[in-house]
Amino acid sequence: MIKLYTIGFTEKSAKKFFELLEQNQVKKIIDTRINNTSQLSGFAKGKDLAFFAKRIANIDYEHKLNFAPTRELLSRYRKKEISWDEYTKEYLYLLDTRHIKEAINFESLHGSCLLCSEHSPEQCHRRLLAEYLQEINPDIQIIHLK
């Protein structure tokens, strides 16, 4: 069984965020954001997060832009130009066009945690990505950290 975690950093203190990762023995954070350098990210700003994760919990960090939606797609959804269902279809199509199925090393996902900013996974691309990967490999167990 491959344990694949997901987490959003908004509405979490750094203490809560890192405790969740440590309690679940996460080995690597996979950042799925387009922009991981925003000042709004606080402790989850790309280079800072990589440093904190390693220093606090000995967790590796990787920013995978090919897991992120495009800026245009995300913007259209946030401006309510497209529905969640339309966003979902376009994002999943994007993953197919990026050949994620062929490029992914599933064993390397074990103990990894998909990161995005959204507090809950219901309407977040990290959940869509996790389920997309699970569809390809049913041995994946998805665990959303809240």
Give the pLDDT score at 26. 98
145 contacts 115 by C-beta, under 8 angstroms: no
> What residue ranges define each of the domains in the chain, with the CATH number in brackets?
2-145 (3.40.1010)
Residue 35 is encoded by which pair of tokens? 């922009």
72 contacts 107 by C-beta, under 8 angstroms: no
The pLDDT tens digits along the chain (146 residues) read 999 999 999 999 999 999 999 999 999 999 999 999 876 678 898 899 999 999 999 999 999 999 999 999 999 999 999 999 999 999 999 999 999 999 999 999 999 999 999 999 999 999 999 999 999 999 999 999 99
CA-CA distance, 96 to 43, in Å (whole number)?
Answer: 32
6: left (phi over 0), alpha (psi -120 to 50) or beta: beta
Residues 6+ apart with CB under 8 A from 96: none
